[in-house]
Structure 1
Amino acid sequence: MTKSVPRPTQVALDTVRTATTADSLRLSAAPKGDIETTVHYVAKDSIRFDVQERVAHLYNKAKIDYGTLSLEAARISIDYNKNLLTAEGAPDSTGKIKDRPIFKDKDQTYQAGRIAYNFKTRKGKIAEAVTQQGEGYVHAEVVKKNDLNEIFGRNGSYTTCNLEHPHFYINASKMKVIPREKVVTGPFNLVIGDIPTPLGFLFGYFPTPGKKRASGLILPTFGQTTDRGFFLRNGGYYWAASDYVGVRLTGEIYSGAADQFGGWGATADVQYRKRYSYTGSFNASFSQRPESQILRSSSVSLDQPYVRPPSPRTFWISWNHSPQARPGGGQFRASVSLGSQAYNVLNSFDTQRYLSSTYQSNIGYSKVIRNSPFNYSIQASQSQNTGTGEMNVTLPDFTLGVARQYPYEWFGLAPRGRFYEQFSLSYDLQGQNRLTNVEQARQLTVDGTSIPLIGGTNQGRRIPVNLSNVGNLFRNAETSVRHNFGISLGSYTVLKHISLSPSVSYGETWYTKRLDYTYDPLARAVRIDTAGFGRVYNFSAGASASTNIYGLYVIKGKKVEAIRHKISPSVSYSHSPDYLSSDILYDRNTDFLDLRDGNGRLLGNQTISRFQGFGAGVPGGRTSNLLSFRLQNQVEMKVKAKKDTTGNTPFEKVSLIDGLDFATTYDFEAPEFKLGLIRGTFRTQIARKLNFQMDGIFDAYQRDSANRRLNEFLFNQNKWRLARITAANLSITYQFNPEQRKSNQKSNLAPNNTPVLGQPQNATPYEEYVDFSIPWTLNSSFSASYFNQPPVLPRAGEKRTSSLTTVTLSVNGTVKLTDKLRFGYSSGYDFRHKEVSYTSLDFYRDLHCWEISGSWIPFGQRQGYNVTIAAKSSLLQDLKLSRNRSFYNR
Structure 2
Amino acid sequence: MLALQTHRQILFSILVLLLCSPAMRPQDIPSKNQVNLPVETKQDTLNPSILNVTKEVNEILVDTVKTDTVKPKKQLLTDVVDYYGEDYVYIDRKKKKVYMYNKAYIVYGDMRIDAGYIILDYNKNEVYAKGIDSAGVYSQKPVFVQAQNEVKPDSIRFNFDSEKALVYNSRTEQNGFNVIAEVTKKVNDSVVFLRNVKFTTSKNIDDPEYYFYTRKAKFVPKKKIVTGLTNMYIADVPTPVGLPFAFFPLTEDRASGFIIPTVGEQSRRGFFLQNGGYYFAVNDYLDLTFLGDYYTNGSYGLRGESSYALRYKFRGNVSVRYENLINGERGFPDFSQSSVYNIRWNHRQDQKASPSSRFSASVNLGSSRYFQESINQTNNASALVNTLSSSVSYSKTFEGEPQVNFSVAATHSQNTNTQTINMSLPNITASVSRIFPFAPKTGTKKGIIDNINFQYDVAAENRIQTTDSLFFKSEMFDNALIGARHTVPISTNFKILNYLSATASTRLQETWTLKTFDQRYDETLNNGNGGVVTDTITGFDRYLTYNFSTSLGTTIYGTFNFGKDKKIQALRHVMRPSISYGINPAFDEYYDDYVIPSADPEVNDQVVEYSRFQNTLYGPPGKNFSSSIGLSLSNNLEAKVRDKDSTVTEPKKVKLLNNLNFSTAYNVAGDSLKWQPVNFSGSIPVVKKLDFNFSGSLDPYALNNSNQRIDEFNINNGGSLFRLTNANISINYSFSSKDLEVDSENKDRLDNETFSNGGRPDDLFGDVRDIDDNRLYKDDDDDEDALNKAWYNFDIPWDFRLAYTMTYSNLARESEISSQSLMFSSNLELSPRWTVGVSSGYDFKNKGITLTQFRFQRDLESWQMSFNWTPIGSINTSWYFFIGIKSSILSDIKYDKRREPDQQL
Please tell me the TM-score bracket, short chain as reference.
Answer: 0.7 to 0.9
The verdict on how the C-alpha distance between 1:695 and 1:123 changes in structure 2, with shifts beyond 3 A counting, is: same
Q: Which residue of 1 aligns with 2:865?
A: 852
- Could you tell me how far apart the structure 1 residues matched to 2:648 and 2:806 are? 46
Letter in 1 for 2:859: D
Which aligned pairs between 1:614-763 and structure 2 lie closer than 5 A?
614-643=616-645, 647-717=647-717, 719=718, 721-739=720-738, 752=780
Equivalent position SS for 1:533: strand
Among 304, 312, 322, the alignment partner of 1:268 is: 304
Equivalent position SS for 1:175: strand
Letter in 1 for 2:568: V
- Could you tell me how far apart the structure 1 residues matched to 2:778 and 2:345 are? 34
Whether 2:573 is the aligned partner of 1:560: answer no
Among 340, 353, 369, the alignment partner of 1:314 is: 340
- Could you tell me how far apart the structure 2 residues matched to 1:47 and 1:665 are? 100
Letter in 1 for 2:181: A
The verdict on how the C-alpha distance between 1:84 and 1:665 changes in structure 2, with shifts beyond 3 A counting, is: same
Query: Deviation at 1:307?
Result: 8.7
Query: Deviation at 1:829?
Result: 1.4
Q: Which residue of 2 aligns with 1:123?
A: 164
1:849–1:871 Cα contact (<8 Å) kept: yes
Which aligned pairs between 1:192-203 and structure 2 lie closer than 5 A?
192-203=234-245
Which aligned pairs between 1:836-875 and structure 2 lie closer than 5 A?
836-860=849-873, 861-875=875-889
Of the two, which has the highest radius of gyration?
2
Which aligned pairs between 1:281-430 and structure 2 lie closer than 5 A?
281-290=317-326, 312-325=338-351, 326-327=353-354, 330-347=357-374, 348-369=377-398, 373-408=403-438, 413-415=441-443, 417-419=445-447, 420-430=449-459
Equivalent position SS for 1:705: coil
Which aligned pairs between 1:65-76 and structure 2 lie closer than 5 A?
65-76=107-118
- Could you tell me how far apart the structure 1 residues matched to 2:17 and 2:669 are? 110
| Unpaired segments ≥5 residues, structure 1 | 257-261, 295-305, 438-461, 743-748, 755-759, 767-771, 792-800
Letter in 2 for 1:386: T
The verdict on how the C-alpha distance between 1:395 and 1:553 changes in structure 2, with shifts beyond 3 A counting, is: same
Query: Deviation at 1:127?
Result: 0.8
- Could you tell me how far apart the structure 1 residues matched to 2:714 and 2:482 are? 48
Which aligned pairs between 1:47-196 and structure 2 lie closer than 5 A?
47-93=89-135, 95-164=136-205, 165-196=207-238
Query: Deviation at 1:787?
Result: 1.6
1:328–1:369 Cα contact (<8 Å) kept: no
Which aligned pairs between 1:199-598 and structure 2 lie closer than 5 A?
199-210=241-252, 212-256=253-297, 262-290=298-326, 312-325=338-351, 326-327=353-354, 330-347=357-374, 348-369=377-398, 373-408=403-438, 413-415=441-443, 417-419=445-447, 420-437=449-466, 464-465=469-470, 470=474, 472-489=475-492, 491-521=493-523, 522-531=528-537, 532-555=539-562, 556-579=564-587, 581-583=588-590, 586-587=591-592, 589-594=593-598
Query: Deviation at 1:220?
Result: 0.7
- Could you tell me how far apart the structure 2 residues matched to 1:430 and 1:832 are? 43
Query: Deviation at 1:816?
Result: 1.6
- Could you tell me how far apart the structure 2 residues matched to 1:463 and 1:318 are? 17
| TM-score, normalization by structure 1 | 0.83
1:595–1:604 Cα contact (<8 Å) kept: no
Post-superposition Cα deviations, 1:206-236, rounded to whole Å, max 9, x if no partner, equal: 11112x1111111111011111110011111
Query: Deviation at 1:41?
Result: 4.4
- Could you tell me how far apart the structure 2 residues matched to 1:738 and 1:488 are? 53
Query: Deviation at 1:122?
Result: 2.0
The verdict on how the C-alpha distance between 1:103 and 1:662 changes in structure 2, with shifts beyond 3 A counting, is: same
Number of corresponding residues: 800
Letter in 1 for 2:641: V
Post-superposition Cα deviations, 1:54-99, rounded to whole Å, max 9, x if no partner, equal: 4333333334444433333222333344332322222344x23222
- Could you tell me how far apart the structure 2 residues matched to 1:272 and 1:570 are? 52
CA RMSD of aligned residues (A): 3.3
Q: Which residue of 1 aligns with 2:70?
A: none
Letter in 1 for 2:554: T
The verdict on how the C-alpha distance between 1:595 and 1:485 changes in structure 2, with shifts beyond 3 A counting, is: farther
Query: Deviation at 1:253?
Result: 0.8
- Could you tell me how far apart the structure 2 residues matched to 1:189 and 1:214 are? 26
- Could you tell me how far apart the structure 1 residues matched to 2:95 and 2:594 are? 121
Post-superposition Cα deviations, 1:371-412, rounded to whole Å, max 9, x if no partner, equal: 574343333222222322211222222233333333248xx9
Equivalent position SS for 2:372: helix
Select between 616-625 and 221-230 the one with higher mean Cα deviation.
Answer: 616-625
2:368–2:468 Cα contact (<8 Å) kept: no
Query: Deviation at 1:24?
Result: 8.9
Q: Which residue of 1 aligns with 2:797?
A: 775
The verdict on how the C-alpha distance between 1:613 and 1:70 changes in structure 2, with shifts beyond 3 A counting, is: farther
Letter in 1 for 2:502: L
The verdict on how the C-alpha distance between 1:416 and 1:684 changes in structure 2, with shifts beyond 3 A counting, is: closer
2:386–2:415 Cα contact (<8 Å) kept: yes
Letter in 2 for 1:345: Q
- Could you tell me how far apart the structure 2 residues matched to 1:364 and 1:613 are? 27
Post-superposition Cα deviations, 1:619-663, rounded to whole Å, max 9, x if no partner, equal: 43522222111111111111222548xx44332111111132211
Select between 837-846 and 95-104 the one with higher mean Cα deviation.
Answer: 95-104
Query: Deviation at 1:42?
Result: 4.5
Query: Deviation at 1:432?
Result: 1.5
- Could you tell me how far apart the structure 2 residues matched to 1:377 and 1:859 are? 46
Query: Deviation at 1:582?
Result: 2.4
- Could you tell me how far apart the structure 1 residues matched to 2:572 and 2:740 are? 35
Select between 173-182 and 355-364 the one with higher mean Cα deviation.
Answer: 355-364
| Unpaired segments ≥5 residues, structure 2 | 1-15, 40-54, 57-74, 742-776
Query: Deviation at 1:669?
Result: 0.8
2:103–2:115 Cα contact (<8 Å) kept: yes
Query: Deviation at 1:529?
Result: 1.7
- Could you tell me how far apart the structure 1 residues matched to 2:479 and 2:903 are? 43
Select between 181-190 and 725-734 the one with higher mean Cα deviation.
Answer: 725-734
Q: Identity, % of aligned pairs?
A: 31
Query: Deviation at 1:733?
Result: 2.1
